[in-house]
Amino acid sequence: ALEKKEVKSKLGEKVGLPCCHEIPSSESLHNYRVYWQKNTTEVVLAYAEGKEIRKHERYKNRTDMNSRNFTLWISPVEILDNGTYQCVVQHLKSSQNSFVVCGETVNLFVTADFSKPNVTAEVSANSCESTEMVVRCSSHGGFPKPKISGTLNNMSVAWNVSWASESSLSPYNVTGELHLNVTKDVIFTCSVEYSGFAKSTSLLLKKTDYCSVPTVPPSYNVITASSIIIIIFLLAITLAARYLPRHVCSHCCKPQNSMEEGVKECTKTPLGSKMTSETSSL
C-alpha cells in the first residue's frame, strides 16, 4: 500500500517532498532508478544509474533531489506546484533486472497569503432607533479559495460573498457584503481563512446621532400666562401715566387767589425782573 503524506508550503518558499527509501551506506545512487511524477502522468524528474535522465520543463532550475533519501526539493514554490506527487524507487540488480523498492504519494498544498482585510462601513439610512449600514470586507492575492466570516460583538454574521480568480490555480480576490441595523456602538470583525491560516481586521461601528425633534407649539398654559403678564405690564404703564405728579413749569405758574386760600403762593421772580423793580423804586 502507498503511504500518503501531506506537506504545506507558502508561495515563494523552499519545500522538500519526502520519498520512501534511503540508500544504505554500502550502496550508491548508481544502484537505483528513481521517478518523481505529479498526478501519475507528469514526470517531474527521473534518475537512473546515478544520472538525471529527465526533468520537466516547468521544473527546470527549481528542483533538486537528495542523492541519499531521494527528497525532492522545489524552490521557489509556485501555485501551479499544488497537487499530488509520487516517488517510485527501483533497485537495479543489473541493467536488465530490477524491482520496486517502494512508492509513496505526497500531497503538496501551496498557500499564498491574503492581504489584511479592508473593512468599510457606509451609512445608508438613519432614524432615532437605528443606523442602517452597508459593511464591506475585501482581501486579495491569496490562495487557495478562502472562507470569509464576520462577528458582531463576538456573534457570528452571514456574508454575501463573491470571489474572483483567473483559474482554480490562480490567486483569489474575495469580497463580502453585509447589511446591518446598528442600534448602538458595536465592534465588527472580518476574518479571511485559508488552508489553516487566518487574517482579521476589526472596526468600531458607531450609531449616528440623527434624531430630529419636531418643533412643539407652546402649551395653552404658557400662552395664558404670557398674556396675563403683558396685560399687567400695560395696566401698570397706564396707571403710572395717570397718577404720577406732572412737572410744573416755573415760568407758567398759575397764581392762586390769596383771599380764597388764605395763603399767598409765591413764585420765583426772575432775576431780571427783580432788578428792574428796584431800579424803578429808586
Residues 6+ apart with CB under 8 A from 266: none
The answer to whether residue 33 sits within a structural domain is: yes
As a whole number, mean pLDDT of residues 123-127 equals 86
107 and 125 part of one domain:
no
- For residues 120 and 200, state if they share a domain: yes
- Please report, rounded to a whole number, the percentage of residues in the chain having pLDDT higher than 90: 52
The 10s digit of each residue's pLDDT in 205-246 is 988 776 655 555 556 566 777 778 888 877 778 777 777 665
Statement to judge: residues 120 and 172 lie in one domain:
yes
pLDDT exceeds 70 at position 278: no
Whether 158 shows a pLDDT value over 70: the answer reads yes
80 and 158 housed in the same domain: no
Mean pLDDT of the chain: 82
Q: Which is nearest to 267 in space by CA: 252, 281, 245, 282?
A: 252
- For residues 129 and 133, give the distance between their C-alpha atoms in angstroms, rounded to a whole number: 13
Q: Is the pLDDT of residue 18 over 90?
A: yes
* Same domain, residue pair 53 and 119: no
Residue 171 domain-assigned? yes
Residues 51 and 89 in one domain: yes
For cell 404658557, what's the residue?
222
Higher pLDDT, 83 or 238: 83
Query: Could you check whether the bond before residue 270 is cis, i.e. omega within 30 degrees of 0?
Result: no
Q: Is residue 197 part of a domain?
A: yes
If pLDDT is split at 50, 70 and 90, which confidence band does 264 have?
A: very low
In a domain, residue 277? The reply is no
Separation between Cα atoms, residue 197 and residue 117, nearest integer Å: 13
Least confident of 17-26, 73-82, 258-267: 258-267
Domain boundary residue among 80, 111, 142? 111
What CATH number does the domain containing 161 carry?
A: 2.60.40.10
Domain that holds residue 55: 5-111
If asked whether residues 76 and 26 sit together in one domain, one would say yes
- Model pLDDT for residues 184-210, shown as the tens digit of each residue: 899 999 999 998 899 999 999 988 776
Residue 249 confidence (pLDDT) above 60? no
The count of structural domains within the chain is 2
Return left, alpha or beta for 262; rule: phi > 0 is left, psi -120 to 50 is alpha, else beta.
Answer: left
Domain boundary, last residue among 111, 129, 146? 111
Distance CA 241, CA 44 (A): 118
Residues 106 and 126 in one domain: no
**Closest CA relative to residue 87, chosen from 57, 63, 65:** 65
pLDDT at residue 181 is higher than 80 = yes
Pick the last residue of a domain from 159, 181, 205. Answer: 205
Regarding whether 178 and 100 lie in a shared domain, the answer is: no
- Res 94 pLDDT > 90: no
C-alpha angle 67-69-72 in degrees, rounded to nearest 5:
75
Q: Does position 260 have pLDDT exceeding 60, yes or no?
A: no
205 strand-pairing partners:
186
